[in-house]
């Protein structure tokens, strides 16, 4: 099938209306939540052939916050993200499959802490609207889970009662507002 020029739409991330939220178990009993609001990138969506969609996102880790300064400093240290040596993480799609309706499965490579691993996402996309500010907008929510130890972030502390201070599994949700010029 030959692709037409009108089937491809290029969107950029609206940084003011996009964020990543994540949570991880703390002391095996509760969840600590955090946010990374500094996200840039583009999505090239092919309506005629969604599998050809390309996603390229960069996240600046210095913007990470859990709303607790001491914990944020520890997360940005060499024990975890090592922001001094790895200031960004990136996500590049390797395949997109329409799962039904406005839901997609996105396969892609996450590069974090100097390690690149595949991380699949479940993605819901809103219908495109005409923006009151000109151009067009689309809302996207992507969800996923990763094991932080797969990315070389293995710091932990054994608890006296058994178990660990910080869970291995990090659950995250990405909310993006995408812009396309008229």
Q: What is the pLDDT of residues 34-83, one digit of tens each?
A: 999 999 999 999 888 988 999 999 999 999 999 999 989 999 999 889 99
Q: 120 versus 167: which is more confidently predicted?
A: 120
Which DSSP category does 131 fall into? -
Best CA proximity match to 37, nearest among 18, 52, 56: 18
- Structural domain count, the chain: 1
Q: What is the pLDDT of residues 94-108, one digit of tens each?
A: 999 999 889 999 999
pTM of the model: 0.89
Q: What is the CA radius of gyration of the chain?
A: 18
What is the domain range of residue 99? 5-180
| Mean pLDDT rounded to a whole number for the chain | 90
CA distance 113 to 100: 34
Q: Residue 154 maps to which CATH number? A: 2.40.128.110
């Amino acid at each position: 099938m030959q692709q037409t020029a009108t089937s491809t739409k290029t969107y950029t991330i609206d940084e003011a209306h996009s964020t990543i939220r994540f949570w991880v178990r703390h002391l095996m009993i509760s969840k600590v939540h955090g946010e990374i609001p500094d996200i840039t990138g583009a999505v090239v969506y092919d309506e005629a052939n969604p599998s050809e969609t390309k996603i390229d996102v960069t996240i600046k880790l210095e913007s990470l916050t859990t709303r607790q300064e001491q914990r944020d400093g520890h997360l940005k240290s060499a024990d975890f993200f090592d922001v001094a040596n790895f200031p960004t993480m990136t996500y590049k799609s390797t395949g997109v499959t329409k799962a039904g309706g406005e839901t997609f499965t996105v396969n892609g490579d996450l590069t974090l802490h100097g390690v690149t691993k595949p991380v699949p996402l479940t993605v819901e996309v809103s219908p495109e609207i005409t923006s009151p500010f000109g151009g067009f907008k689309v809302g996207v929510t992507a969800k996923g889970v990763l094991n932080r130890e797969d990315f070389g972030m293995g710091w932990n502390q054994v608890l006296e009662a058994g178990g660990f201070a910080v869970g291995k599994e990090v659950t995250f949700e990405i909310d993006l507002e995408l812009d396309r010029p008229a």
